[in-house]
Chain A
Amino acid sequence: MTEPAPPDPMERRSQRLTTLLRGLSLILLAIWLVAPFIPLLIWSFSFHWTFPHLLPEGWSLRSWQDVANPSSQVLPAIRDSLLIALPVTVLSALIAIPAGRALGQHRFPGKRLVEFLILAPNIVPGLTVALGIQIAFLRYGLANTFTGVILVHLVPSMSYAVLVMAGVFANYDPQAEEVSRSLGANRWQTFRHVTLPAIFPGLMVASLFAFLISWDQYIATILIAGGTVKTLSILVVAAAGGGDRALAGALSLVFIAPAVVFLIIASKYLTGVSAARRLGRR
């Protein structure tokens, strides 16, 4: 609410200039934020688009037909991605509810160490862990299996979900559970009708996180199971390095679809900046 004092003509002119500069900067910022998406979108519908032309010389749905064609690699890749990301999501949620509760509601000796361990996968590059675990997975027959990939994805997905749920439980008042128990509800009824509704928005966000983190994984997947498991992420990276820009554009847009769904759902459960802040993830 701080407004400058009523300005004299000189100051009024400089104030108008400030407003103008601010508006221009905001417009530039907005353009910069959306700019990378625009060529992706245009390329995905292009047929023929050579250098100096600002728009394609020929339009086509070819790359989208490729994406939808059952005999192409895309649908199997989406299936593989889902076969990994969905179990990772469910497991992450199941692990994160009790762990988040322990961290958010209790103080106990060794808590700092546990917190450190859960934060560590956000600092140690996934590459380092994947390279190390690959040796053991080869030995135990987990390399080139879905189980192996799920286990590796579980590390970053689950640790993020635990962090979110710890935050949720830190602001959760367990007294309602005591009331429920005193009114005669058993443990499961209490969880189902008291705890779950209270933590549901947070759990939703944690699960969506977990899903997206798994969905985006590339280097861990390719190091553990590059020979057999072909996720959409692997396809997108291959297309990025390949020559078919139309396909790369279409694949990129398919690849970000869950993130867009995530934004829409998350905006329902969280509002404004706090939502955006939680969305910020690795």
Chain B
Amino acid sequence: MSERWKIWAMLAPALLVLIAVFVGGLALGVGRSLNYMPIIGLTAPNLDAYRQILRMPEFLPSLATNLYIAVVSTAVSMVLAIASALLMRRAFRGKRLMTFLFSFNLPIPHVVGAIGILFLFAQSGAIARLAYGVGLISRPMEFPVLVNDPHAIGIILEYVWKEVPFIGVVVLAVLQSLGDDYEAVAQTLGATPWQRFATVVLPLIMPATLSVSVLVLAFTFGEFLVPYLLGQTYPATLPVLAVRLFTDPDLNQRPPAMALSILIALISAVMVVLYMALSRRVVRSD
């Protein structure tokens, strides 16, 4: 067996699953969204389903909500992750405990985070009770609506809770591999603490930070469960809308559901590809 065949044989099982299930699923979804499904006699693809979703009054508000949630969650997570990593990089008492806590919620499922946020921030939740305890409110209704709310605060809080450590551990690892010497050089060259942060630390950690953050962006854009649990009913996010259409008793809603899910995947992919193109041009770090 030649070397090349051996390599493909080693990859075969993985490629089989990916092509049969992942690529196959995507292709079927694309076909269905184009009203193309030869098995049931649909052989003339068209864009009706896409037109249908564009005409839906909920579509644009949903898209706006979705983008808003993804961008705000990612930006806030990124800033807080950098801040946390900077706080945690040097030795301090309790660093081991802190590192443990930081990595603890990484493998925790988003559902559990969502339930925790719900129990904390609902109008009858733990924070509201604390607010009552110190006399800020006298009834649950006086507590601001922070879950299933129009500004998607609950969703953003859950994402930030989960993604700050996710981005943060990467930033922390980069900071630790860089060491202090770059900053020491800058300092002896006359850079003030702020200048050292802005002209040395930030540019050095940015490539790695951005490349994890773009994964977070794509994830928060396409995630169903968290907005399903913590979001408001109207406008729902695109994934929630897609599932709602798909599970509609009216089977005519399935092509638009497919079209919507394809659109979500496309937008996620465009985000990642755009980032990769930009980073190759701008950062070009080795």
Contacts and interface: CB of A to CB of B under 8 A. Distances in A.
Direct contact of A and B (CB under 8 A): yes
Interface string A262-278: 11000000001111110
Interface in A208-237: 212, 215-216, 218-219, 223, 233, 236-237
Interface stretch (B45-53, B55-63, B161-169, B278-286): B161-169
A99 B11 contact: yes
Contacts of A40: 112, 115-116, 119
A54 to B, nearest CB: 5
A53 B129 CA distance: 7
B41 interface: no
Q: How would you classify the secondary structure of chain A's contact residues: helix, strand, loop or mixed? A: helix
Given A26-B88, A54-B133, A131-B29, A281 B115 contact: no
Contact of B26 (A25, A29, A102, A132): A132
Given A101-B10, A124-B265, A151-B21, A1 B180 contact: yes
A64 B28 CA distance: 43
Contacts of A30: 97-98, 101
20 contacts: A1-B180, A26-B98, A34-B101, A35-B116, A36-B116, A37-B116, A40-B115, A117-B18, A124-B22, A125-B265, A128-B264, A132-B24, A133-B25, A154-B21, A212-B107, A236-B111, A240-B118, A280-B165, A280-B212, A281-B107
4 closest residue pairs by CB, A with B: A36-B116, A132-B29, A125-B222, A133-B25
Interface of A: 1-2, 22-23, 25-26, 29-30, 32-40, 43, 51-54, 94-96, 98-99, 101-103, 106, 108, 114, 117-118, 120-125, 127-133, 135-136, 139, 151-152, 154-155, 158-159, 162, 212, 215-216, 218-219, 223, 233, 236-237, 239-241, 245, 248-249, 252, 255-256, 259, 262-263, 272-277, 279-282
